[in-house]
Amino acid sequence: MQKFFGIFSESAKELKKTKTLATAALLIAINITLDVLNIRVQLTPEIRIGFGFLCNATIGFLFGPVVAMLGGVATDVMGYLVNTGGGAYFPGYSVTALAAGLFWGLLLYKRPVKLWRCAVAKGCINLFCNIGLNTLWTSMLYGKSIAVLLPGRVIKNLLMLAPEVAALFFFLTFVAKVYFRGSGKQNQI
């Protein structure tokens, strides 16, 4: 239990570092830019691969759950502010972003990049955040039954899991090599 809470303590200490704040801000800005410019791979009208999750995962990987949760909420709120055609702000999606940051940080922070770890992290986010929470928020916002929304959301998240895990693994491997180069933290790779 002490190790569990220690992760939060170490992550909170990251907020005192200028390098952490600058890197997290840059990743948040990249994520928002990708969203605003609609940069994604459209597979079908309903299924697309976005790349913003790589920015959020990187924040969790580098700086832990506290920074990743704050970064997720900041991305959601600022993304809403710059995306004028996105509809009204709904705080439920900020809760989802906070939960995703928690998963990224708990499962990736100070751990070597492994394919299975990327799969567990992305799988948890797809299940609990995308399928669970976002289905609930969509149902509340648009008045559609969860039973109607759920099948399509489950299929989409299952189909997207493999390509997203592969992208996450290769991206974090690259980030680890670049970010930890010369720091003696080669165990991150």
Tens of pLDDT, residue by residue over 65-85, are: 999 999 999 999 999 999 866
Residues near 43 by beta carbon (within 8 Å), at least 6 away in sequence: 49
- CA-to-CA distance for 44 and 31, rounded, in angstroms? 22
Q: How many domains are contained in the chain? A: 1
User: How far is it between the farthest Cα atoms of the chain?
Assistant: 53
Residue span of the structural domain in which 105 resides? 2-188
In CATH, what number is assigned to the domain containing residue 124? 1.10.1760.20
**What per-residue confidence (pLDDT) applies to 47?**
67
Work out the pLDDT band at 2, boundaries 50, 70, 90.
low
More confident residue, 1 or 32: 32
Q: Is the pLDDT of residue 44 over 80?
A: no
Residue 16, SS3 per DSSP:
coil
Tens of pLDDT, residue by residue over 114-154, are: 999 999 999 999 999 999 999 999 999 989 999 999 999 99
Q: What is the average per-residue pLDDT within 1-25?
A: 92
Q: What is the DSSP string of 80-142?
A: HHH-TTS-S--HHHHHHHHHHHHHHHHHHTTS---HHHHHHHHHHIIIIIIIIIHHHHHHHHH
| Helix and strand element counts for the chain (H, E) | 8, 2
Work out the pLDDT band at 86, boundaries 50, 70, 90.
low
Q: Is the pLDDT of residue 189 over 60?
A: no
**What per-residue confidence (pLDDT) applies to 35?**
86
Q: Is the pLDDT of residue 1 over 70?
A: no
**Rounded to the nearest 10 degrees, what angle do helices 2-14 and 65-82 cross at?**
50
Work out the pLDDT band at 41, boundaries 50, 70, 90.
confident
Q: Is the pLDDT of residue 103 over 70?
A: yes
How much is the mean pLDDT over the chain?
A: 91
What are the Cα distances from residue 166, in Å, to 122, 142, 171?
Answer: 10, 33, 8
